[in-house]
């Protein structure tokens, strides 16, 4: 017998959500959950118990697409065994990018929804459940061959314009002590390797007062760290003024545009300064800045505001002028070197995180060598290296000089080997120093499996008489310092069971390649 549609008048519908991808996607999932709960639907962590399951997808690069497709197909297969009447809904970047193709390629999905539809998810869920019920009736089984009574629903805007505000219901998925605050959506940059502007639309900023109101509410709830996110946080506010020109991209043009703004104009600097006035002990962490949009005023603002974490995320992608030009990054190598020098001089103690792409079309051994030299010279505090992913629909996808996958992986490994030596030296230099940390969770054996054996001398790991490794997991608390963003950077393992979600001062006892070992000061 096919599973009957749930009786919504007796029991509220239950919905499960699987969210993939970046923190910006996570905020979208939180908004969907908030809208569902506000409309009386229940949330479940057990997919087999859900009347509808939402897979919130990422489509930034091929590996992210593969992960999303695997999650969709796996959910469909489990549904067939556990709950045939369950509606399967796909949201996020993947249906946004392939809005015409996916309904034809994935008939097992009951509804596709784009970025603009996240606040409308309760209605879409109910319609998808009705759609699924129609598909699973006996009449559907006996339908004429080749005729599909119920096609997947598809609601995806061609060009997204939506951005949530403080009044938008939201159910946070992060721990109570930190939150992501989306300050803008979309992107105007022409990077030749990136599909984000096509998926997420043009840059659009939230009103400053709206963000500040949200931040005050989060701090009053006990949040100790506000992570500001967008595709390009440094462009925040520039689109809010009248006569906005979306062609402002190069450093020179951006600097002139910001200098011409009136004193009361909304910018990232004005937002940061107002957030810094909120009462309470908390960090403001600035993520996803673009090198072309840094100004002396932003450097001064970070230096002047003690609540802004001494940490910046500034993806540079490359240093060789030819590669930067091919990537359409709007900066050159000398500008990048000068900018890093200005940031380090203007904000003493700043930790700089960056990312690079290796194996981009046209990257010769000499150009890759220039990147390695730059990494050695600059000694970034945090660094990620990614092999170039060829994406259809991007300028770079059609370029000549594509690099073999093996070469890309080799260059990625070589660059990370250089960075590991730098990170190891930086960790050793912190031994004996005091740090302010934010506690996260008690360490488990799984958390400690990757901790380097050099930490044995500090008591974190020991060998028993049979030479088996034993973890003293009841003695350590995982934490993060100012130089560590959630989920992407290293950790501080602090000796003792400590209160969670709180600031503490610790003394560094030792280090691994990327983590620190500490004790309460």
Strands 516-520 and 492-495: parallel
Please, are residues 143 and 149 in contact by the beta-carbon 8 Å criterion?
yes
Same domain, yes or no, for 204 and 336? Answer: yes
**Residue 298 — φ and ψ, nearest 5°?**
-65, -40
State the pLDDT at residue 139.
46
Say yes or no to pLDDT of 9 above 60.
no
Domain end marker among 429, 453, 486: 429
Say yes or no to pLDDT of 466 above 80.
no
| Per-residue pLDDT tens over the stretch 369-422 | 999 999 999 999 999 999 999 999 999 999 999 999 999 999 999 999 999 999
**Is the residue at 236 inside a domain?**
yes
Same domain, yes or no, for 231 and 357? Answer: yes
**Residue 456's pLDDT band (boundaries 50, 70, 90)?**
very low
Q: What is the mean pLDDT of residues 324-352?
A: 97
Domain end marker among 371, 398, 429: 429
Reported as type and span, the H/E element at residue 82 is helix 62-82
Ramachandran sector of residue 347 (left: φ over 0; alpha: ψ -120 to 50; beta: rest): beta
Determine the Cα–Cα distance for residues 156 and 199; give it in Å rounded to an integer.
11
Reported as type and span, the H/E element at residue 413 is helix 405-429
Lowest-confidence region among 2-16, 346-360, 407-421: 2-16
Q: Rounded mean pLDDT of the chain?
A: 90
State the pLDDT at residue 433.
97
Q: Which residues of 213-252 are buried (b: 16+ CB within 10 A; e: fewer)?
A: ebbeebbeeebbbbbbbbbbbbbbbbbbeeeeeeebbebe
Cα-based angle 303, 309, 312 (whole degrees, multiple of 5): 85
Residue 45: count other Cβ atoms within 10 Å of its Cβ: 8
Same domain, yes or no, for 414 and 478? Answer: no
**Is the residue at 384 inside a domain?**
yes
State the pLDDT at residue 253.
86
Closest CA to 441 of 177, 45, 171, 173: 177
Same domain, yes or no, for 60 and 119? Answer: yes
State the pLDDT at residue 55.
97
Same domain, yes or no, for 135 and 218? Answer: no
State the pLDDT at residue 11.
74
CATH number at residue 113: 3.40.50.12160
Same domain, yes or no, for 449 and 413? Answer: no
Domain span including residue 439:
434-520
CATH number at residue 460: 2.40.50.140
Same domain, yes or no, for 310 and 333? Answer: yes
| Per-residue pLDDT tens over the stretch 118-131 | 999 999 999 999 98
Same domain, yes or no, for 439 and 425? Answer: no
**Is the residue at 6 inside a domain?**
no
For 104, residues 6+ apart whose C-beta sits below 8 A from its C-beta are: none
Strands 476-481 and 516-520: unpaired
Lowest-confidence region among 142-156, 287-301, 401-415, 486-500: 142-156
Please, are residues 265 and 324 in contact by the beta-carbon 8 Å criterion?
no
Instruction: Count the domains in the chain.
Output: 3
| Per-residue pLDDT tens over the stretch 355-369 | 999 999 999 999 999
Same domain, yes or no, for 277 and 367? Answer: yes
Determine the Cα–Cα distance for residues 491 and 83; give it in Å rounded to an integer.
40
**Residue 332 — φ and ψ, nearest 5°?**
-120, 175
Q: What is the mean pLDDT of residues 142-159?
A: 71
Same domain, yes or no, for 258 and 344? Answer: yes
| Per-residue pLDDT tens over the stretch 165-222 | 999 999 999 999 999 999 999 999 999 999 999 899 999 999 999 999 999 999 999 9
**Is the residue at 397 inside a domain?**
yes
Say yes or no to pLDDT of 467 above 90.
no
State the pLDDT at residue 446.
77
| Predicted TM-score of the model (pTM) | 0.91
Say yes or no to pLDDT of 231 above 70.
yes
Say yes or no to pLDDT of 2 above 50.
no
**Is the residue at 4 inside a domain?**
no
State the pLDDT at residue 460.
52
Same domain, yes or no, for 268 and 409? Answer: yes
Determine the Cα–Cα distance for residues 207 and 203; give it in Å rounded to an integer.
13
Domain end marker among 155, 186, 201: 155
Say yes or no to pLDDT of 451 above 90.
no
Handedness of CA 284, 247, 343, 366 (dihedral sign): positive
Same domain, yes or no, for 322 and 409? Answer: yes
State the pLDDT at residue 172.
95
Please, are residues 255 and 197 in contact by the beta-carbon 8 Å criterion?
no
């Amino acid at each position: 017998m096919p599973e009957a549609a749930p009786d919504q008048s007796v029991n509220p519908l239950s919905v499960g959500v699987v969210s993939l991808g970046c923190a910006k996607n996570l905020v979208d999932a939180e908004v969907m959950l908030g809208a569902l709960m506000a409309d009386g639907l229940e949330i479940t962590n057990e997919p087999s118990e859900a009347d509808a399951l939402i897979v919130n997808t990422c489509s930034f690069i091929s590996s992210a697409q593969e992960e999303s497709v695997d999650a969709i197909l796996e959910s469909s297969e489990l549904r067939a065994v556990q709950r045939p009447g369950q509606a399967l809904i796909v949201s996020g970047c993947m249906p946004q990018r392939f809005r015409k193709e996916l309904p034809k390629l994935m008939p097992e999905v009951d509804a596709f929804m784009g970025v603009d539809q996240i606040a409308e998810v309760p209605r879409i869920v109910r319609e998808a459940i009705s759609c699924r019920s129609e598909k699973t009736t006996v009449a559907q089984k006996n339908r004429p061959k080749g005729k599909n009574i119920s096609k997947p629903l598809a609601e995806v805007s061609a060009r997204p314009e939506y951005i949530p505000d403080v009044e938008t219901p939201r159910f946070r998925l992060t721990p109570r002590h930190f939150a992501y605050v989306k300050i803008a959506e979309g992107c105007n940059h022409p990077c030749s390797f990136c599909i984000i502007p096509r998926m997420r639309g043009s840059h659009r900023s939230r009103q400053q007062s709206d963000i500040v109101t949200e931040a005050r509410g989060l701090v009053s709830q006990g949040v100790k760290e506000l992570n500001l996110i967008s595709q390009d946080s440094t462009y925040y506010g520039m689109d809010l003024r009248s006569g906005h020109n979306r062609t402002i991209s190069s450093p020179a043009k951006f600097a002139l545009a910001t200098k011409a703004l009136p004193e009361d104009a909304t910018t990232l600097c004005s937002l940061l300064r107002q957030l810094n006035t909120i009462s309470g002990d908390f960090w403001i962490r600035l993520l996803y800045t673009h090198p072309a949009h840094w100004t002396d005023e932003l450097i001064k603002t970070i230096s002047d505001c003690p609540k802004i974490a001494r940490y910046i995320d500034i993806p540079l992608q490359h240093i060789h002028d030819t590669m930067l030009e091919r990537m359409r990054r709007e900066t050159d190598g000398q500008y990048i070197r000068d900018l890093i020098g200005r940031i380090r001089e203007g904000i003493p103690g700043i930790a700089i995180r960056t990312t690079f792409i290796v194996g981009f079309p046209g990257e010769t051994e000499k150009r890759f060598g220039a990147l390695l030299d730059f990494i050695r010279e600059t000694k970034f505090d945090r660094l990620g290296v990614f092999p170039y992913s060829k994406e259809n629909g991007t300028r770079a996808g059609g370029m000549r000089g594509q690099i073999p996958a093996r070469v890309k992986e080799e260059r990625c490994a070589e660059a990370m080997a250089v960075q590991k030596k730098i990170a190891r030296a930086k960790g050793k230099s912190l031994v004996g120093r005091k740090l302010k940390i934010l506690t996260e969770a008690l360490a488990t054996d799984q958390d400690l499996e990757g901790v380097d054996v050099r930490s044995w001398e500090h008591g974190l790991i020991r060998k028993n008489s049979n030479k088996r490794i034993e973890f003293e997991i009841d003695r350590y608390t995982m934490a993060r310092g100012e130089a560590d963003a959630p989920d992407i950077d290293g950790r501080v393992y602090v000796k003792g069971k400590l209160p969670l979600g709180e600031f503490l001062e610790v003394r560094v006892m030792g280090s691994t390649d990327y983590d620190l070992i500490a004790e309460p000061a």
